[in-house]
Amino acid sequence: MTFNKESRTHKTDAYLALLERHKGILYKVARSYATGMEIDDLVQDICMQLWGSFERYDDRFAESTWVYRIALNTCISAYRKEKRRETSSTDAMHILHPAVDRDQERLDELYKMIQTLKEIDRALLLLYLEGKDHKEIALIMGYTETNVSTRLSRIRNELKSMTNTLNK
Amino acid sequence: MNITELTELWQNQQVHLQQSMEMNKVLAKEVQTMKLQQLFSSMRPIKIFTLVVGLLWVVFVDSILVATYGIASPYFFWSALLQSTITKVAIGVYLYQLILLYQTDVSHAVSAVQQRIAHLTLSTLWVTRILFLQLPLWTTFWWTESFINGISPLAKSLLFSTVILFAAVALGLFINIRIKNREKPWFRWIFRGREWDPLVRAKELLGEL
């Protein structure tokens, strides 16, 4: 019994440390797929999925690859839900509290641009902006590197024309 | 802003976020005690329930078919046999959906997981289409040879016209219940009150993948 308790405490600590290390990813992915209060809902959903999959973590992959996969799959699949968050408490929605960024306005514009893209393109652009190389993006998305490269080139062009319109 | 500036802006955000975001450990711990809502777990109970009801129905119909074999009217026999077969096909689709649900792991590659979910969502249309095929069978199962031979030619032609009408409607629905027809009035009428947005999004997502 003591062992179980210890093991659970250990798991909880490891989980909290994981959230601490990747809280930025959680927020950025959620914000790319939602607006307003729904961001908190999505962050919480991702946290729950991370907790649910925690014991099945496959250490062949980098921790961040695993976190990105879960976060992106959770956010892209969120449209399936007819009603969001009926069972959880309201307080638990606010897990992360980002402060106001000095580049907030420009970031808001960027997020708006990202949200005009289709779900899969959004995921690819997000990983590209994160500075992931084609190999890691391919691993997270399940595409070949060539496919990633082709898709990214198209998305970059799309983004370029959007920024051009904004700059005019 | 150009793309290099956007990338810089994005990456600076990371540093700033790590510093300014505060994780509420108490609330993060709360997540663990909540009933884990796997993305698709809410679909499981209703699918299992439908599967059980479908299986019970098939066992019931097949038992009657076996018990009345040789003595039941051929109209009843063939109607019930076809109805049971169509239900079995629908059960097969439900089983396929359940297997997909249990095999889906959110930590797998995004394209694989999303493809699976999209197929799963779209296969619900298949169940509806298959089940509509039963329609004409409900107009024939109660016929008996003595009843058919005993009615007037006018009543007989009315009876057969009804079967043909139901068969045409069933076949028409089977062919035309597709996402591309979702804006048509008859589609909206049949599926009124249902949530079709996920189906449409699933179709779009498959195209994107």
The domain over range A1-98 is classified in CATH as 3.40.50.2300? no
> Would an 8 Å CB–CB cutoff place A145 in contact with chain B?
no
Residues of A in contact with B38 (CB under 8 A): 49, 52
Per domain, the residue ranges of chain B are 40-202
Q: What is the pLDDT of residues B68-79, one digit of tens each?
A: 998 999 999 999
CATH architecture of structural domain A99-168: Orthogonal Bundle (1.10)
Residues of B in contact with A24 (CB under 8 A): 13-14, 17-18, 21
**A102 in helix, strand or coil?**
coil
pLDDT one digit per residue (tens) for chain B, 209 residues: 677 888 888 887 777 776 666 666 666 666 666 655 555 555 677 778 888 999 999 999 999 999 999 899 999 999 999 999 999 999 998 898 888 888 888 889 999 988 888 888 788 888 888 989 999 999 999 999 889 888 999 999 999 999 999 999 999 999 998 888 878 888 878 776 555 666 677 777 777 77
**H or E segment to which residue A9 belongs:** helix A2-33
**Spatial CB neighbours of A157, under 8 Å, sequence gap ≥ 6:** none
Complex prediction ipTM: 0.81
Residue whose token pair is 């179980």: A4
> Would an 8 Å CB–CB cutoff place A95 in contact with chain B?
yes
Contact B3 A163 (CB under 8 A): yes
Closest CA to B176 of B166, B186, B163: B186
Per domain, the residue ranges of chain A are 1-98, 99-168
How many CB atoms lie under 10 A from the CB of residue B127? Answer: 19
**A150 in helix, strand or coil?**
helix
Tell me the CB-side half-sphere exposure of residue A18, using CA atoms within 13 A: 25
pLDDT one digit per residue (tens) for chain A, 168 residues: 444 566 667 878 888 888 888 888 888 999 899 888 888 888 888 888 888 888 888 888 889 999 999 999 999 888 655 444 444 444 433 444 454 555 777 888 888 888 899 889 999 999 999 989 999 999 999 999 999 999 999 998 888 888 777 666
**B23 in helix, strand or coil?**
strand
